[in-house]
Structure 1
Amino acid sequence: MAAASYKQFCPVAMASEILCNRWTIVLLRELCAGSTRFNDLRRGVPRMSPALLSKRLKELEAHGVLERTLIQKKPEVFEYRLTPAGLELGTVVEAIGIWGHRWVETDPSLENLDPGLLMWDMRRGLNVTPLPLRRIIIQFIYPELTEAEQNWWLLVDPKHGVDLCSVDPGFDVDLFTRSDLRTMTAIWMGLDTVVKAVADDRLLLIGDKDIVGKMQLWLGLSPFAVQAKQVV
């Protein structure tokens, strides 16, 4: 529940009491994007503590924004799904994202780098259509990061979809990509391109030429990347 009330009858004030607690809008972004399990939600908000995530989920449930369903008893596993009221917030979250992409300065945005969050978002948005109809392994290498965060693998399977690994899955790699995290984040946000990053020697691609040539097409870009930036 909100810590304090604005004590105004205005619907904006009343809605703000529910939606403007810290992390709530970001959590709603993950729910609107389709995450339904606690661990998946955590991967989408990696800097949010498990205790606070649990608290915010309970608050949203109490306000009728989402519903929780027990799908496994031992151990207990719940699914969190948006109610009609929650689904209606999708346009609100989208509008906030569009505004942020268009009007928030680029440099401050690219100071908030997180490899786990970036790769999770890329996994979710990856477009499998341009890729060959077989299992594809794509390794992303960020050499400036710690050993534990340097290497990530996207596993694309026609039958099972796209998975993300931070530990070597043990398969032959079809494409190695090597760049700094800022460059890949800028590409994902639509602030840079694969072609420009390669030309500037900020992105190295080694592997299947067909996959390399179509990277800008299959790469899971931010849903806001198509929006024209108003500030730089």
Structure 2
Amino acid sequence: MELIESHLIDKSICPVARTAQVLSGKWTILIIRDLATGVKRFNQLERSLQGISPKTLSERLRSLEEEGIISRRTFAEAPPRVEYSLTEKGYDLVPVIDSMRNYGKKWLCDDK
């Protein structure tokens, strides 16, 4: 019962705060950035996100899937193949990430 009440409260808070809550996990924004270019497998994401542990990547992917931001597709093969992609809800975050990229280029990165 507590989880249900907490979930309802989450949906009633400020939209900016709720979005920040969804994106605040370490690596989350970078996972969305990588999936914005297309379907990826776990090992592709792991290679792209140097320094992320497999456990953390699994947790972030599961969390994003629960939020409806990514979809997970499993193929019945040996060994099993799993692919991740953004949902419509996930693609709606791409302009947010693009804005962050533009801000970082303008204000935070050296022009070398």
Larger Rg: 1
Structure 1 portions without partners, runs of 5+: 107-190, 193-232
| Residues matched between the structures, number | 104
Give me the identity figure in percent.
Answer: 35
- Paired residue type of 2:62: K
Matched, 1:59 2:63: yes
Q: Is the Cα contact below 8 Å between 1:72 and 1:78 reproduced in 2?
A: no
Say which structure is richer in strand: 1
Rounded to whole Å, the distance in 1 between the matches of 2:99 and 2:76 is 35
- Paired residue type of 1:29: R
Q: In the alignment, which residue of structure 2 is the partner of 1:11?
A: 15
**Aligned partner of residue 94 in structure 1, secondary structure:** helix
Instruction: Output one character per residue of 1:80-134: Cα deviation in whole Å (capped at 9) or x when no partner.
Output: 011100011111111111101110042xxxxxxxxxxxxxxxxxxxxxxxxxxxx
Note the C-alpha offset of 1:73: 2.7
TM-score calculated relative to the size of structure 1 = 0.42
Rounded to whole Å, the distance in 1 between the matches of 2:109 and 2:65 is 34
- Paired residue type of 1:64: G
Note the C-alpha offset of 1:74: 1.4
- Paired residue type of 1:38: F
Q: Out of 75, 85, 107, which is 1:71 matched to?
A: 75
CA 1:74–1:97: 2 relative to 1, 3 Å:
same
Matched, 1:43 2:51: no
TM-score calculated relative to the size of structure 2 = 0.83
Note the C-alpha offset of 1:71: 2.2
**Aligned partner of residue 80 in structure 1, secondary structure:** strand
Structure 2 portions without partners, runs of 5+: 1-6
Matched, 1:92 2:100: no
Matched, 1:30 2:34: yes
Q: Is the Cα contact below 8 Å between 1:64 and 1:86 reproduced in 2?
A: yes
Runs of 4+ aligned residues of structure 1 deviating over 2 Å after TM superposition are none
Rounded to whole Å, the distance in 2 between the matches of 1:46 and 1:35 is 18
- Paired residue type of 1:90: V
Instruction: Output one character per residue of 1:4-30: Cα deviation in whole Å (capped at 9) or x when no partner.
Output: x9x671001111111111111111111
Rounded to whole Å, the distance in 2 between the matches of 1:58 and 1:25 is 14
Rounded to whole Å, the distance in 2 between the matches of 1:60 and 1:76 is 21
1:1-232 matches, cutoff 5 A: 9-106=13-110, 191-192=111-112
**Which structure is richer in relative contact order (CA contacts within 8 A, separation 6 or more)?**
2
